[in-house]
Amino acid sequence: MFHQETLDALFDDARARSLFATTFVVVDLETTGGAPDGGGITEIGAVKIRGGEELGEFATLVNPGERIPPYITVLTGITEAMVLPAPRIDSVLPAFLEFARDAVLVAHNAPYDTGFLKAACAAHGYPWPKPLVLDTAALARRVLTRDEVPNNKLATLARWLGGNARQPCHRALDDARATVDVLHALIGRLSGHRVHTLGDALEFVKAVSPTQRRKKHLAENLPNTPGVYVFRDGKDRPLYVGTSSAIATRVRSYFTASEKRARINTEMLAAAERVEAIECAHSLEAEVRELRLIAAHKPPYNRRSKFPERVVWLKLTAEAYPRLSVVRTLTGDGGSYLGPFASRRHAELAAAGVHEALPLRQCTLRLSTRRTTVACALAELGRCPAPCEHRISPEEYTASAAEPFREATTGNPSEVVRRLLDRMRSLSEGRRYEDAAAVRGRLVAFLKASVRMQRLASLTALSQVVAARPGAAGGWELAVIRHGRLAAAGASPPRVHPRPALDALLATAETVRPGPGPVPCASPEETERVLAWLERPETRLVEVDGGWASPVDGAGRWRELLATAEAAMGGITHLGL
């Protein structure tokens, strides 16, 4: 039956070729029995086959340059007198490598034969061509049961074939011929396992679970373009959402030995009934769509990005005597924010750092400017200016406590940072190293959040950013970002001016209205993905509404200090200014 190969299978990807159209060189070596060290080969035999037909043979004795042990002579019949006039391996290798060029190497217990060949190439200065290798012993272990054959030795498999099958006799060419018969028989059994291509066969011999084998058809007919893939169960519920620059290639990997996650290759694949592919214009759109789908559906087998609503913020309340509060939502009531934080613990750690540096009250009462309230112990200890008893006016409190916090979050955090550093030095000089380490942790939590928020806020403040990035295959990847949210994504084809595609994109882009807080219109993770894409060296800014800038004396200039503090895990290090 005639089999029409695709252009990709014929020219691009050897793994995509059918087994019928693949050229194999079945090889067998006889050796002196030692370790592969560049020598020791006494005979090479090889048979080239394709489509069930033998195209040629290669056979030669090789002078190993060393004595042949008597037991090897008894086993193979090869004597020192036979190999004495034979060529050395350095003379044989060029002819063999040419014979096997562009073919798939096949051997029984292939690591043994290829180990000797690779060592010989290395010893004599020949580059190893790194061919694809198929091991008939490993293939037999996957195809045949113990009821059929007691073991997977070449002689046992040849006897299992019976009939006119050629039998091995510990001579290289005869054993290679016997391996050809075994290979053909095993390939005949592979179709029942849905193994039709070389890539399928190479993966089949690996440790692939029965579930992966049974469900590998789910990877068929998917586009190999950037986008998002969704594994769905029988009720069409999303089980797992992922993204890739090549959907088909990525989804196929779930059905190979490279997939090591137990919950994925057993539970998830067992429940999956289909894979939905969502093609995207480029990688940024794919990443953003993935985040939004995970947040919307919360698939059970995704671990990251499932609950963006669980991030918390440190809020300076909008009242006469503001205080810090850990909140989950951003509102437009005039409060100032720091964050986002992954957990309440991190937010409270940063708040402790702020309280260490600034005289903000720590009580949770809503204080009145008309009535006094009984002061707490912190006031008696001198750690609070006691606004509850009106020992400080709202204006003085704002100037000494609230305004420095606002400045630290949106502008220059130096006042908070320097006070925490001074506190660390004082504790360290007093040999209170554990207390100094605790202050360092608070400094890291505060500074990390401040750096992150100022980077995000610099982008979310802009009503529109239009950017382009060169595509891998030519043309341009296009993106429209509004207040930190990806509003539209597209691409212009190669050798065509991108302006028409860009105008069409702007006309259909999502309308995004500003909101309260540093990240008003998208999840922090989405805005960070957008920002990372914009910061790539190859990305070009086409249009920017307003000035895109960060404070020159902002939190960003403390990044080196932050990195040093985060790296200081073994003890207190000197954090100089």
Q: Which residues fall within 8 angstroms of residue 208, CB to CB, at 6 or more apart?
A: 255, 256, 257
Q: How many CB atoms lie within 10 A of CB 34?
A: 13
Of residues 533, 538, 476, the one with CA closest to residue 284: 533
Of residues 550, 558, 555, the one with CA closest to residue 409: 555
CA distances in angstroms from 446 to 154, 318, 338, 357, 518, listed in the order given: 67, 20, 8, 11, 16
Q: Which residues of 260-277 are buried (b: 16+ CB within 10 A; e: fewer)?
A: eeeebbeebbebbeebeb
Q: Kindly report whether the peptide bond that precedes residue 87 is cis, defined as omega within 30 degrees of 0.
A: no
Q: Which residues fall within 8 angstroms of residue 445, CB to CB, at 6 or more apart?
A: 341, 346, 347, 349, 350, 353
Q: Is 323 helix (H, G, I), strand (E, B) or coil?
A: strand
DSSP 31-92: E-SS--SS--EEEEEEEEEETTEEEEEEEEE-B-SSPPPHHHHHHH---HHHHTTSPBHHHH
Catalytic residues, which ones? 170
CA distances in angstroms from 297 to 231, 236, 290, 509, 561, listed in the order given: 12, 12, 11, 24, 39
Q: Is 24 helix (H, G, I), strand (E, B) or coil?
A: strand
Lookup: tokens for 55? 């195209």
